[in-house]
Amino acid sequence: MRESIGAAWIFSICLTFIILFTAYLAISVNYAKAFRIKSHIITAIEEHEGYSDQSTLDQEIVNYLVSQGYTASGRCDELENWGTPHCIDQKNNGTCGACVYHMDVDTGNDDICAKRSYYKVVTWFKFDLPIVNFLTTFKVSGDTRYIYDFANSPDCN
């Protein structure tokens, strides 16, 4: 009888570690996908030198989201000091696949005669376990480097 109780304990300990390891892998894969999506959107905004032509950039980003099988979504909340968020790949339930925020920066430096902007990109990753299924989502955000807008900048002497 003692061996059967000992075997049950060992089986439950092994099962617990298998579940924890599977959960860790599921979280890692989902986080890596959300991070890769965020990085791609930031790179696309930097390559287009801003988010001024939204229609072509939106289509490029949506095509990338679909090709990667990205299904996580969330709400674009207002952030302090950032402009109104732009929703990319809006779902039927009012959530977005990604949000892009814009902020113009006043340098206060006369040596730099160009307007500068930052963009913040927010994506989400699902905390999704294989056995338990969907639990919640978490934000993954990142900022672009300064983007200079020389065309709309004042003349400097």
Instruction: Give the residue extent of every domain in the chain.
Output: 2-149
**What are the angstrom distances between the C-alpha of 150 and each of 21, 45, 50, 156?**
51, 16, 12, 11
pLDDT tens digit string along 14-44? 999 998 888 788 788 888 988 999 999 999 8
pLDDT tens digit string along 50-105? 877 677 888 888 888 888 888 888 888 888 878 788 888 777 777 888 888 988 87
pLDDT for 129 equals: 64
Measure the N-to-C terminal CA separation of the chain; round to a whole number of Å: 92
pLDDT for 15 equals: 92
Regarding predicted confidence, which is higher, 108 or 44?
A: 44
Which pLDDT band, with edges at 50, 70 and 90, does 107 fall under?
low
Token pair, residue 3, equals 């061996």
Mean pLDDT on 128-132: 66
Decide if 37 contacts 70 (C-beta within 8 A): yes
pLDDT for 110 equals: 56
Kindly write down the DSSP assignment for every residue of 118-142, as one continuous string.
EEEEEEEEEEEETTTEEEEEEEEEE
Token pair, residue 63, equals 């095509």
pLDDT for 132 equals: 67
The owner of tokens 């439950």 is: 12
Mean pLDDT on 135-151: 78
Please give the radius of gyration of the chain, using alpha carbons only, rounded to the nearest integer.
22
Decide if 124 contacts 137 (C-beta within 8 A): yes
Lowest mean pLDDT among 55-64, 123-132, 139-148: 123-132
pLDDT of 151 strictly over 80: no
